[in-house]
Amino acid sequence: MTDIKQFEEKLGVKFNDIELLRTAFTHRSYINENRGNGIVHNERLEFLGDAVLELVVTDALFKKFPDKPEGDLTALRSALVNTTTLSTTADSLGMNDYLLLSKGESKEKGRGRQFILADTLEAVIGALYLDQGYDAAGEFIGTHIVVLVDDIIKNESYRDAKSRLQELVQEEHSITPTYDVIRSVGPDHDKVFTVGVFFNKKKIAEGSGKSKQEGEQEAAKQALELQDK
């Protein structure tokens, strides 16, 4: 693992308590292989960072788009704080290099790694908030996350995938897609739901998310990509 102080320098912030930042990168699985060292995993910081992130993004969108209705603001916020956006942002910041994971989790790729990166980014926000305050956390979120909203609008990636899929399938096949949870794994506070989307009881695609709703959106997104091929 790369020295955490390098990430601190990348942030351009001098932490009063560097251990907060180190904790933000510590996955629960790492604790299982390094017991007795007084190491703490990042889930409490993730919990805090998630709340700070949602408030900052909500405030920024409310001020930036005074004429947009609540539904549009909600869709834009969801696009900014979902797993895909957060993990892509974390990856662009090089956060993979600083993760503390078990040997097994370190081999995890794809959607599983996306979840880890998104959670870690939220934990970093939580650490920044505790150490530097709301304004510093808000500046970080504005610089790296809120700034993406213009591209999201341009690409229309904020549009609800389930609604787009339903419109397409009803138009072409006169049926309505249905969704069902295939499996859920993890503790109650950190479950990952895998959801299938079905056309006339035939599974077309599946997706995973930290909630059933996010899993449904991911499944619909995957189904849309298949329809485009």
Query: Count of CB atoms within 10 A of residue 123's CB?
Result: 27
110: left (phi over 0), alpha (psi -120 to 50) or beta: left
Exposure pattern of 1-17 as b/e (b: 16+ CB <10 Å)? eeebeebbeebebebee
DSSP letters for 97-111: GG-B--TTGGG--HH
Query: Count of CB atoms within 10 A of residue 76's CB?
Result: 23
Measure CA 168 to chain center.
27
Residues noted as catalytic:
50, 122
